[in-house]
Chains A and B, each alone.
Chain A
Amino acid sequence: MLGLFNRALENFLRQRHGPALWQRVVQRAGLPFDSFEPLLDYDPALTVALITASCDELGQTRETVLEDMGTALVSHHDRDGLRRLLRFGGVSFRDFLHSLEELPDRARLALPHLDLPDLLLEDRAGGHFTLRAAPPFAGAGFVLIGLLRAMADDYGALVLLDMAPPVAGADVISILVLDESYAEGRRFDLAIAAP
């Protein structure tokens, strides 16, 4: 899944900050090429170098960069695929949260080599949930926060998200669902029009 992540970060930097910034990141990270293939595997050290170089070039913290990227994954207008796949999780944001535990299995069914980290949802009642995941690289939890924030928006739900202290090496995200129908969400049709 690192190819997928690396490429997603590349796309985010290119689209949000321009190709010139991306080229500077490539140089700073010492990458031997200037574009990632989403379906290929890469050395985890490349991902670490890529994240560090991105933060240095942008002058932003890892938290900010990764969370923004997670949000862009779902909300960028020409990247509807992932949003749609996540929306298959259910008709409400709560359904969606519960479906996250199934997400790695669904992904495995489609792409056996993808190897998403397991996600563990705990319903603490009163709209409070925690989501636990062993991060495949440091900071991965912030990508998840950004993604959840964008999905809440997509469902029209009002939600508070926070990174809680890690437990046994796993990132813990605290989710407080305040209002499930706070705003009108985006429309979702199960089957999209044939291209």
Chain B
Amino acid sequence: MDRACLSISGCCAGRIALPVAAMDRLMPMHLHLSASGRITALGPTLAKIAAQAKIGAGGGLTGQDFFQLFEVRRPAGVAGMADLSARQGERLHLGMRGGDVAFRGLAMADVSGGIVLNLSFGIGVAEAVRAHALTDADFAATDLTVELLYLAEVKRMVLGELQRLNQRLQGAKTQAEEQALTDTLTGLRNRRALDLRLAQAVVAGAPFALLRLDLDRFKAVNDTLGHAAGDHILRMVAQVLLAETRSGDLVARVGGDEFVILLPDLIRMPRLIAVAERIIAAIAQPVAFEGQVCQIGASVGLTVSTFYASLTGEEMLQDADAALYAAKRDGRGRVVPFLR
């Protein structure tokens, strides 16, 4: 067989005769079929795969009937040499009987009534290379299979890197949110900002006041008119609080409808009560939202740092809270100072 030649019809020279060894190098996955459909030669890569899949019962594929060993899956109805011949030049999809390798194929007639069928792995190439432990040497030097595998591998690496980048960004976002000092709904400071500022104020030792404000009837608005109305009201309240305080004051939303205001250098009770009453009056103004009028109110409890011999932020917050509940108990819509 080594010295035998295959004759392939060529378009210009009429015919090209090639040693089998040359065919093997040019098309390491080709099959040569006789006119009767017997396999007369096959490329080394195909032989390797067949041997691994134990197809062809020991003696290899040569001499066996092609259609016994292979099936043409697409196009349908290719079951004999005449069918195969009629499909010359078309892309064929084939498989080995008893093996799970899928091939693409291209069949062309030779000058002696036989057929040269060249195969490739098609899209499942990575799987096939892995399954049959193929190497560079199993592919023709012109074949781009190795480049394809290379690209698949680069893609895998880059995707992995992108995934890690996304995870890092997600982590950074979470961290940024944790470290944020702003309440996203109202633009006021948040609980964290209040805690930081309160701690600083306690350490600094300069006098300051703490106001706790709760909305009255807010839950009712939220329940009857919906969350959008509730959010609208919270934003309006935020505007009121900012308008009625100084730029150096800290206004924080610390819960659903709970606010805390820290006022540095303001401890005179009449002034503080006046500020709180202005706020309560402004919040009590009816607000229009999508054709509906909603009216809420606010209660305020307050305390000042000079009440305390040994000051802690926590104690001040608790006392302002106690005053706030006293205000609510007394009928809401009012301000109650904490009394030592």
Contacts and interface: CB of A to CB of B under 8 A. Distances in A.
B160 to A, nearest CB: 8
Interface stretch (B28-36, B55-63, B66-74, B134-142): B134-142
A38 interface: yes
A111 B162 CA distance: 13
Interface stretch (B105-113, B144-152, B204-212): B144-152
Nearest to B152: A191
Q: How many B residues touch the partner, as a band?
A: 20 to 34
Contacts of B228: none
Most A-side CB within 10 Å, residue of B150, B162, B165 = B150
B282 interface: no
Contacts of B5: none
A189 interface: yes
A167 interface: no
Interface residues of A, number: 20
Identify whether the interface residues of A are mostly helix, strand, loop, or mixed. Answer: loop
Interface in B145-190: 146-147, 149-151, 153-155, 157-158, 161-162, 165, 168
Interface in A156-195: 189-194
Contacts of B151: 109-110
A16 B211 CA distance: 56
Given A190-B129, A190-B134, A190-B135, A111 B158 contact: yes
A137 interface: no
A91 B153 contact: no
Contacts of A120: none
B135 A193 contact: no
Contact of A84 (B126, B136, B137, B153): B153
B268 interface: no
A14 interface: no
B82 interface: no
Contacts of B133: 189
A90 B154 contact: no
B104 to A, nearest CB: 18
Given A110-B154, A190-B136, A39 B146 contact: no
A39 B161 contact: yes
B114 to A, nearest CB: 32
Interface in A73-116: 81, 84-85, 88, 90-91, 106-107, 109-111
A106 B150 CA distance: 8
A191 B129 contact: yes
B130 interface: yes
B44 to A, nearest CB: 16
Contact of B158 (A39, A106, A189, A190): A39
Given A88-B146, A88-B149, A91-B137, A81 B157 contact: yes
A26 to B, nearest CB: 16
Most B-side CB within 10 Å, residue of A81, A107, A193 = A81
A110 B134 contact: no
Closest 6 CB pairs of A and B: A110-B154, A191-B130, A191-B129, A88-B150, A191-B126, A81-B157
Given A88-B150, A191-B149, 20 more contacts: A39-B161, A81-B153, A81-B157, A84-B153, A88-B149, A91-B136, A91-B137, A106-B147, A106-B150, A107-B154, A109-B147, A110-B155, A110-B158, A190-B130, A190-B134, A191-B129, A191-B130, A192-B130, A193-B130, A194-B130
19 contacts: A37-B165, A37-B168, A39-B161, A39-B165, A85-B150, A85-B153, A85-B154, A88-B153, A91-B135, A106-B147, A110-B151, A110-B154, A110-B158, A111-B154, A190-B134, A190-B146, A191-B126, A191-B127, A191-B149
